[in-house]
Amino acid sequence: MDLSRFAVPAEKLRWQCDAGQFQFECTKDLPVLDEFVGQDRAIRAIEFGLNMHNAGYNLFVAGLSGTGKTSLVKEYIHRLIAKLAGEGVAVIMISSEMPEVLGMSDRIMVVHEGRITGFLDRKDADQVKIMELASH
């Protein structure tokens, strides 16, 4: 079978657009978007999964790696936590990611090897203090 008819020249393997059509120099000049673009179906699935308030329901996210699934789900959950906390709902978040812990928590409980090693209020918490408690 002759596959030469399917050959694509190297210069056509990558699309290039005219940069002059944009009204900005760099994407850092653009305002940050607050919405999830092009993820309507994923958002509906996350909302559905997170609204199952019965024992035995879990939310699993699957798909190709590197497509932003984790970022999308985490951002959605962070927004939900902020909304609930703003309504006065107590939220318990378990995380091993320091920026997430410091950015989302009003009060931090540190657990090391199954033992509670300390508590910190947001105003007193930093990475060093948390790691000191985690090493006890």
pLDDT at 76: 86
Q: What is the mean pLDDT of residues 26-49?
A: 81
DSSP secondary structure of 31-73: PPP-S-TT-HHHHHHHHHHHT--STT------S-TTSSHHHHH
- Indicate the average pLDDT of the chain: 87
Q: How far is CA 53 from CA 20, 57, 82, 113, 122, in A?
A: 51, 8, 19, 30, 29
Q: What is the structure's pLDDT at 86?
A: 92
Tell me which of 64-68, 90-94, 103-107 is least confident: 64-68
- Residue 25 pLDDT: 87
* 120 confidence band (pLDDT: 50, 70, 90): very high
pLDDT: is 90 or 63 the higher one? Answer: 90
What does the pLDDT look like over 63-81, one tens digit per residue?
Answer: 777 777 788 888 888 988 9
| Largest interatomic CA distance in the chain | 71
